[in-house]
């Protein structure tokens, strides 16, 4: 396969379903990378090894039942040494049981387009029905390479620290012998033979080869080298890189599961989907008319207020934020521009600016104009009579309207789940300092879940929560919105 485009350059029996052996661990590791990316688990999460994981046969790291070890070391052991006990421990740490993890593996395989693959376990030891094809494994290798490039260096390490001890790469002979080789995964069982998904890069070209059923390590490596040589010979030098589409997230958020196109025949259960209410407030209430004002007078008066609000918006949406300009008190009438309305306009303008609609830097500080000391104010306790209004503006009668500034601050955002309250509070503080433009004034809240501690910011409007999430995701920070409860 030409990794850049996904084009198959040569194939033989590529759709035959065979035992993948430890090539299975590519999917186990792919899901582990996905879970870390979405905050289900972290690399520093301490995993307690189960009796089931510790009992897996070699190749293994030598984990003991009840032992505690960080996830990062389990990932290294599975990727480099191909440790079966480490692979099982990863699956149980993410999904609670190996059976549940296998179901997630199958959902992910379907989303990746691996149509002839069925997983039964996280390690690849021979099990009835645990089958894949050379074509599907090439697809898996390509997604490992392009979906999580930050982890891909694991597969080219000749040795690595697995927490308990230094372990050697099962693919070290091929990595040393073939020019440009940098991965990916070996596999062997008696039923499968010697398998290898290999990848190599030379200049602008990158080729992925897959071999199933080799008779020995040497024979497998020789066939892999032959296929890679053929690939480099047939591949064009100038090919546009078309990264494969990353599948929809298949993991957990809180107590719910996000599943795209769940198969009803897979475990007999459909996954749950998270649905967010369309709005927090069902309807908008209009202010009542003041006594003595007819309905026919309302339209022009409200239009006048809207024009003034538009003027305030225009005053803040400029290429450069200028200091407030003093305005003569006699030029301002409270009946036309109410202070809360101006504040609301300024907030909305600031959100528009942060989204890039006006060209102002996202962190620009937008402040409403100070209320002049001699401004004529409407009484909070007594209604303004028509005669009083006539004194302020003899030619017109005005209706004072007030725009709500609450913004429906019943929304929040989640920036990940962490193994301890301290870790969650630390990331909340770090994120708040990073994104002061939208999170200023929000409430930092840590929620204790059965699987960890959620780090949440609460007390935001829907628009601000959405903006904050988009800005954080642009900085590679995990984030999703939390609707009103």
Q: Angle at Cα 271 formed by Cα 268 and Cα 272, nearest 5°?
A: 140
Helices and strands in the chain: count of H runs, count of E runs: 14, 13
CB of 360 closer than 8 Å to CB of 319: yes
As beta bridge partners, residue 194 has: 188, 214
Provide φ and ψ at 229, rounded to 5°: -60, -40
DSSP string, 264-311: TTSTT-PPP-----S-S-S--PPPPPPTT--GGGHHHHHHHHHHHHHH
Alpha carbon distance 3, 139 (integer Å): 9
Question: Which candidate in 42, 50, 59, 82 is catalytic?
Answer: 82
Determine the length of the chain. Answer: 485
H or E element at residue 185: strand 181-189
**Residues facing 238 on adjacent strands:** none
Is 25 an annotated catalytic residue?
yes
Distance CA 460, CA 482 (A): 10
CA atoms within 13 A of residue 335's CA, in its CB half-sphere: 19
Q: Rounded distance, CA 463 to CA 481, Å?
A: 10
Contact 258, 273 (CB under 8 A): yes
User: E strand or H helix at 458, and its extent?
Assistant: strand 452-460
CB 308 within 8 A of CB 274: no
Q: Report whether 121 contacts 102 (CB < 8 A).
A: yes
Q: With 0-12 CB in 10 A as exposed, 13-18 as middle and 19+ as buried, what is 30?
A: buried
d(CA 87, CA 125): 11
Q: How far is CA 80 from CA 162, 187, 320, in A?
A: 9, 12, 55
Burial of residue 450 (number of CB atoms within 10 Å: 0-12, 13-18, 19+): exposed
What one-character DSSP code corresponds to residue 92?
H
Closest CA to 82 of 185, 175, 197, 156: 185
294: number of Cβ within 10 Å? 8
82 in active site: yes
Task: State how far Cα 354 lies from the chain centre.
Answer: 21
Indicate which residues carry an active-site annotation.
22, 25, 82
């Amino acid at each position: 396969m030409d990794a850049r485009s996904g084009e198959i350059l040569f194939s033989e029996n590529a759709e035959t379903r065979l035992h993948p052996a430890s090539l299975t661990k590519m999917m186990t590791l792919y899901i582990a990378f996905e879970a870390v990316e979405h905050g289900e688990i972290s690399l520093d999460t301490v995993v307690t090894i189960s009796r089931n994981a510790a009992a897996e046969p070699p190749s293994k790291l030598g984990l003991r039942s009840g032992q505690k070890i960080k996830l990062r070391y389990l990932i290294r052991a599975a990727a480099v040494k191909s440790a079966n006990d480490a692979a099982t421990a990863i699956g149980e740490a993410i999904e609670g049981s190996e059976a549940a993890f296998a179901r997630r593996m199958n959902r992910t395989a379907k989303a990746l387009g691996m149509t002839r693959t069925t997983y039964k376990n996280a390690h690849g030891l021979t099990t009835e029905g645990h089958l894949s094809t050379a074509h599907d494994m090439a697809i898996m290798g390509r997604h490992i390479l392009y979906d999580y490039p930050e982890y891909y260096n694991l597969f080219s390490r000749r040795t690595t620290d697995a927490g308990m001890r230094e372990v050697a790469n099962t693919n070290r002979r091929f990595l040393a012998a073939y020019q440009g080789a940098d991965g990916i995964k070996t596999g062997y069982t008696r039923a499968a033979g010697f398998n290898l998904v290999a990848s190599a890069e030379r200049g602008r070209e990158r080729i992925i080869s897959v071999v199933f059923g080799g008779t020995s390590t040497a024979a497998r490596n020789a066939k892999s080298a032959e296929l890679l040589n053929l690939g480099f010979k047939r591949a064009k030098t100038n090919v546009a890189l078309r990264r494969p589409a990353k599948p929809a997230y298949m993991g957990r958020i809180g107590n719910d599961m996000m599943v795209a196109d769940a198969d009803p025949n897979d475990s007999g259960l459909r996954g749950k989907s998270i649905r967010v209410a369309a709005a927090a407030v069902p309807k908008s209430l209009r202010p009542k008319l003041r006594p003595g004002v007819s309905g026919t007078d309302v339209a022009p008066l409200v239009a006048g207020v809207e024009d003034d609000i538009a003027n305030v918006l225009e005053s803040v949406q400029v290429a450069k934020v200028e200091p407030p300009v003093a305005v003569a008190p006699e030029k301002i009438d409270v009946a036309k521009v109410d202070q809360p309305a101006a504040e609301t306009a300024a907030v909305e303008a600031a959100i528009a600016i942060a989204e890039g609609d006006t060209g102002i830097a996202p962190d620009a500080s937008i402040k409403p104009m100070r209320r002049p000391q001699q401004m004529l104010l409407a009484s909070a306790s007594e209604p303004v009579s028509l005669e009083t209004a006539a004194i302020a503006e003899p030619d017109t009668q005005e209706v004072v309207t007030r725009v709500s500034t609450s913004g429906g601050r019943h929304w929040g955002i989640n920036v990940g789940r962490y193994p301890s309250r301290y870790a969650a509070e630390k990331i909340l503080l770090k994120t708040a300092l990073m994104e002061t433009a939208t999170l200023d004034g929000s409430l930092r809240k840590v929620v204790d879940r059965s699987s960890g501690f959620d780090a949440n910011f609460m007390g935001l409007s829907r628009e601000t929560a959405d903006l904050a999430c988009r800005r954080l995701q642009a900085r590679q920070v995990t984030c999703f919105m939390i609707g009103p409860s």
